[in-house]
Amino acid sequence: MPIDPTLCPAIFGVSGTSLTDRERVFFEKVKPFGFILFARNIADPDQVRALVDSLRPLAAVQPCPVLIDQEGGRVARLRPPHWPAYPRGAVFGKLFDVDPDNARRALYLNSRLIAADLHDLGINIDCLPVLDIPARGGHEVIGDRAYARSASTVAALGREACAGLIDGGVLPVIKHIPGHGRASADTHIELPVVATKAATLRRTDFAPFKALRDAPFAMTAHVIYADLDPHYPATTSRAVIDRIIRKTIGFDGVLMSDDLNMQALSGTLAERAFASQQAGCDLALHCNGDYDDMVAVAGGLERASPATLRRLKRAMGFLAPPRPFDRDAGVRERDALLARAET
């Protein structure tokens, strides 16, 4: 898995449906780890393939990592009429309550179907599954994106989501580590503080992440856990990343920040990027495609550490060609299984 050790340890968005000359020159210079696509980058399948093709030679890792948030429900960058709508996560948790085996199978098939859509476009990393456990009083930014309120159910379904993506030639990103479900605010807008004691968090919120600690990638939560670090959110907290994510949870995959442009974080973008890296994030995620913002993020980052390069190489090593799959049969079987949740 070729990786340029001089890479910029960042994932960047782009501004539109095709690369600008300025973006191309910038990416050639900084050599980012990879890229992430949003609705503004998507018109139709041929356009997306052309955009992905133009990004490939600009990444410091080959095959070029191209990410997207394609969860299903309200978080889906690929939408009808060109792509099918997918169920929200809570649908699978509802089926799990009455038929765990069929819920696992339905979610595996759903993830295989998502992976088929992405692989066809050249997208090879999906920011899925959501392993957060929604709590009473938690903000609806997670809500029905989560599978269930039970840690064991979330872990079981999250495992199937990962397996379906990997079998379809797409890598999963578990999120939002170490758990976003208790956050009482939307981190796009403000910084939430979770006051729950660490012992409770270990039994509940952290448990699904520990169960899936072998995942290749994870995304942080911009959330303060007051009993762990009363001053800094997980993304910029050395204490949370070292003691909780790396040791208690045992995750040794690639840790990426959530979007640095979210208002839960403070300081300039260069300061946010530097703080996340110094705290222990392997990659800085910047999503809005603003050129000046990207320059600032790149300027705040140091060269990737040997540990980060090791994790990147191992994570990308999970990528393999899709296993044989009958898409039409998969749709029929998934839909039949999900129908049982409605009866």
- Look up 180 and say whether it is catalytic: no
User: Which one of 53, 101, 188, 214 is the catalytic residue?
Assistant: 188
Q: How far is CA 18 from the centre of its chain?
A: 23
Active site residue 188: yes
**Is CATH 3.40.50.2300 the right assignment for the domain spanning 8-342?**
no
List Cβ neighbours of 121 (8 Å cut-off, separation of 6 or more): 45, 48, 49, 52
Is pTM, for the whole model, over 0.85? yes
The pLDDT profile of the chain, 343 residues, written as one tens digit per residue, is 689 899 999 999 999 999 999 999 999 999 999 999 999 999 999 999 999 999 999 999 999 999 999 999 999 999 999 999 999 999 999 999 999 999 999 999 999 999 999 999 999 999 999 999 998 877 788 999 999 999 999 999 999 999 999 999 999 999 999 999 998 877 888 998 999 999 999 999 999 999 999 999 999 999 999 999 999 999 999 999 999 999 999 999 999 999 999 989 999 999 999 999 999 999 999 999 999 999 999 999 999 999 999 999 999 999 999 999 999 999 999 999 999 876 5
Give me the catalytic one of 205, 229, 258, 282. Answer: 258
Where exactly are the structural domains of the chain? 8-342
